[in-house]
Amino acid sequence: MLDISTSICGENSEALFPECLLALEQEVFARWGAEYVSRLRAESASARYITDKMPHNFLRIGLIKLITPNAKVIHCMRDPMDTCLSIFKADFSALHKYAYDLTELGQYYKLYLDLMDHWQRVLPGFVFSVRYEELVSQQEAQTRRLLEYCNLPWEDACMSFYNTKRDVGTASLVQVRQPIYKGSVQLWKSYGDCLAPLEKALAGEVNPEVA
């Protein structure tokens, strides 16, 4: 979705994304929706459904609605401390500079929450939210909720997803190859005071102008 958002306005637009969207006609969104689907199909021509799980898609939910109005947006929420710890431990590219400083990471997370609240207000019902902790403890029930939202039938194989032979090329490769486990719930508590800067930032105890 990043490529689309940086290209949709064209070279002749004086405004940047997302302000530039205000000047576009509906046919432009339809054309870019077809272009986006075409790019996905280039990755897999045979798959019936394709998931785009890029981390920054939450910034572009409005654009997703405009160019692919039938898309299903799934928002997986988790304990903020656990979420940020998971990001901090990952070896991301330079595009995720906020991920390497605990204070900045906490501030970024709070901005993400504000934006998700905005999408829920302006696009009610478009985003399906599921809690990570509930998925871990109630796998079948939460999976059924998710499938219902996606208009997909239940399959017993959903409970043993880790047996899939499909290629996995994401940072969650190891997790995908094993059953859902509870060991990462409240994992942040194992790090003691090491995460204090993150905890303060999430609590709003850091002045953004000074941090």
pLDDT digits (tens, 9 = 90+) for 166-203: 777 677 777 788 888 898 999 999 999 999 999 999 99
What class is the 74-211 domain? alpha beta
Beta bridge partners of 128: 74
Helices (H) and strands (E) in the chain — how many of each?
9, 2
Tell whether the model's pLDDT for residue 68 goes beyond 70.
Answer: yes
pLDDT band of residue 82 (cuts 50, 70, 90) is: very high
Q: Is the dihedral of CA 4, 127, 72, 56 positive or negative?
A: positive
Q: Helix, strand, or coil here: 57?
A: helix
pLDDT digits (tens, 9 = 90+) for 118-146: 999 999 999 999 999 999 999 999 999 99
> Distance (Å, rounded) from C-alpha 132 to C-alpha 123?
22
* H or E element at residue 153: none
Tell whether the model's pLDDT for residue 54 goes beyond 70.
Answer: yes
Q: What is the location of CATH 3.40.50.300 in the chain?
A: 74-211
Q: Helix, strand, or coil here: 73?
A: strand
